[in-house]
Amino acid sequence: MSAADALSEKGIACTIFEREASLGGLAGSFRVGGVYLEKFYHHLFTSDLAMAQLIDRLGLGEKLEWLPTTNSYFVNRIYRLSTPLDLLKFSYISLFDRFRLGLLYIRTMFVKDWRPLESITARDWLVQMAGERVYQAVWEPLLRSKFGRYADQVAAVWIWNKLKLRGSSRGGKQEERLGYLRGGFGQALDAWEALLRKRGVEIRLNSPVERIVIEGGRVSGVVVQGDFIPYDRVFVTTAPEIFSSLTPDLPGEYREQLAKIKYLGNVCLVMQLTRSLSDTYWLNIGDPSIPFTGVIEHTNMQRPEIYGGAHLAYISRYLDPREPFFNLSAEELLEAYLPHLQRIFQGFQKGWVKRVWAWRDPYAQPLISLHYSQLRPPFQTPIRGLWLCCMAQVYPEDRGMNYALIYGRRAVDEMLATA
Ligand X SMILES: Cc1cc2nc3c(=O)[nH]c(=O)nc-3n(C[C@H](O)[C@H](O)[C@H](O)COP(=O)(O)OP(=O)(O)OC[C@H]3O[C@@H](n4cnc5c(N)ncnc54)[C@H](O)[C@@H]3O)c2cc1C
Q: Which residues bind ligand X (CB under 6 A)?
A: 17-20, 25-27, 40-43, 208-209, 237-238, 242, 246, 266, 268, 316, 363-364, 390-391, 399-402, 404
CA 90, 93, 97, 101 dihedral sign is: negative
Nearer to ligand X, 130 or 285 (CB): 285
What's the closest the beta carbon of residue 6 comes to ligand X, in angstroms?
14
3-class DSSP state of 348: coil
Q: Are 12 and 417 in contact (CB under 8 A)?
A: no
Nearer to ligand X, 222 or 334 (CB): 222
Q: Are 242 and 17 in contact (CB under 8 A)?
A: no
Using alpha carbons, select from 74, 34, 28 the residue that is nearest to residue 268.
28
What's the closest the beta carbon of residue 131 comes to ligand X, in angstroms?
30
Nearer to ligand X, 155 or 391 (CB): 391
What's the closest the beta carbon of residue 242 comes to ligand X, in angstroms?
5
Beta bridge partners of 369: 154
CB atoms within 10 A of CB 15: 14
What's the closest the beta carbon of residue 330 comes to ligand X, in angstroms?
16
Residue with smallest beta-carbon separation from ligand X: 25
CA–CA distance, 233 with 379 (Å, rounded to integer): 13
Using alpha carbons, select from 333, 304, 340, 336 the residue that is nearest to residue 78.
340
Nearer to ligand X, 45 or 139 (CB): 45
CA–CA distance, 205 with 374 (Å, rounded to integer): 35
CA–CA distance, 140 with 154 (Å, rounded to integer): 11
3-class DSSP state of 364: strand
Q: Are 265 and 280 in contact (CB under 8 A)?
A: no
How would you write 95-125 as a 3-class SS string?
HHHHHHHHHHHHHHHHCCCCHHHHHCEHHHH
Nearer to ligand X, 25 or 385 (CB): 25
Nearer to ligand X, 90 or 379 (CB): 379
Nearer to ligand X, 243 or 307 (CB): 243
Nearer to ligand X, 286 or 400 (CB): 400
Q: Are 28 and 22 in contact (CB under 8 A)?
A: yes
Q: Are 362 and 19 in contact (CB under 8 A)?
A: no
Q: Are 51 and 405 in contact (CB under 8 A)?
A: yes
Nearer to ligand X, 345 or 363 (CB): 363
What's the closest the beta carbon of residue 367 comes to ligand X, in angstroms?
14
What's the closest the beta carbon of residue 352 comes to ligand X, in angstroms?
23
What's the closest the beta carbon of residue 206 comes to ligand X, in angstroms?
10
CA–CA distance, 239 with 410 (Å, rounded to integer): 18
3-class DSSP state of 314: strand
CA–CA distance, 81 with 174 (Å, rounded to integer): 12
Helices 156-168 & 122-130 angle (0-180, nearest 10): 60
What's the closest the beta carbon of residue 318 comes to ligand X, in angstroms?
8
What's the closest the beta carbon of residue 412 comes to ligand X, in angstroms?
14
What's the closest the beta carbon of residue 144 comes to ligand X, in angstroms?
17
Nearer to ligand X, 98 or 298 (CB): 298
